[in-house]
Chain A
């Protein structure tokens, strides 16, 4: 069974999700995990599906991109299986005046501490830049990491907070 990673990006309009899902359904591709959002108005969808060969899906999606407004890519990926959460879940929030390199610098600090970003969103509104990252951290490092993040944030002139993610279990 092939596992495929598909991205569809481009000018937003009603019906893109339906068009993509219809193509996949027709080919017997089972849509598993997916996410879709609009990034500054652009349509952006990433999904994993299981089923047919990559070339077959690529050909079937080609008409969607024919008008040049959408870009669809299909790639076979090796199934990784579900990876167990590697550490303690935290949320890093950064906000401040927009400037080059905020995400690069802050996520580098996370990476150097072996923090694994599991979800990320950024927003620019006016001159305010906001980054929210969910990150799995090795046990016991959060306090030291928070100090390093604060130092890097101070260099950038932005604010940072690192808080445990809400487990919110029943």
Chain B
């Protein structure tokens, strides 16, 4: 892998060096989910705490592969992702948090079914890039990273980056018959 796609540089949640608190997940139609989150200082103490809290909350939520700050009521561009062990996972970067993340390359768009802890009773078909390059900053050090991924992790990243922009999967559903009542709760 080239230096350009150095990934997370060995970052793990231990780098946050503080315990996360489980926060309450808010659900639509809570307006915080529809407001674009603000940029954050990734080195600020509150950002590091938020990062730890997102990981802690994600870990206690069955089936959760990603959680963004607006989902815990904070309008900020911070999210956690961890698709480790998911049956659809291809490339896996483990548990990580990105601040101020943006998509810089997206290709090979594919439809897939998405759910969301903030829309607990519905799922929807959404087209997402299955090849993705994302840039952002790591909480704590503030180090800029450039992450290349694919498949399920790419979908999770786009879903979380959407949250940080005030968008839900409902804003991207493919058509009138692409929203479903959830049949299985994890």
What are the interface flags for A133-170 relative to B under an 8 Å C-beta threshold, 1 for contact and 0 otherwise? Answer: 11000000000000000000000001101010110000
B121 partner residues in chain A, CB cutoff 8 A? 125-126, 128
**Residue A5 at the chain B interface, CB threshold 8 Å:** no
- Whole-angstrom distance between the alpha carbons of A123 and B171 in the complex? 14
A34-92 interface with B by 8 A CB criterion: 91
Interface residues of B, dominant DSSP = mixed
Q: A123-B181, A166-B127 are in contact. Are A130 and B176 (CB under 8 A)?
A: no
- Whole-angstrom distance between the alpha carbons of A48 and B85 in the complex? 48
B176 partner residues in chain A, CB cutoff 8 A? 91, 119-121, 132-134
- Whole-angstrom distance between the alpha carbons of A135 and B168 in the complex? 21
Would you list 21 pairs from A and B whose C-beta atoms are within 8 A, ordered by A residue?
Answer: A91-B176, A93-B170, A93-B173, A95-B29, A95-B168, A95-B170, A96-B34, A97-B29, A121-B176, A123-B181, A126-B27, A126-B121, A128-B28, A128-B29, A128-B119, A134-B175, A159-B34, A159-B168, A161-B171, A163-B172, A166-B111
Given contacts A91-B175, A165-B174, 11 further A-B contacts (CB under 8 A): A95-B28, A96-B28, A96-B34, A126-B121, A128-B29, A128-B119, A132-B176, A159-B168, A165-B175, A166-B127, A166-B174
Give A residues with C-beta under 8 Å from B: 91, 93, 95-97, 119-121, 123, 125-130, 132-134, 158-159, 161, 163, 165-166
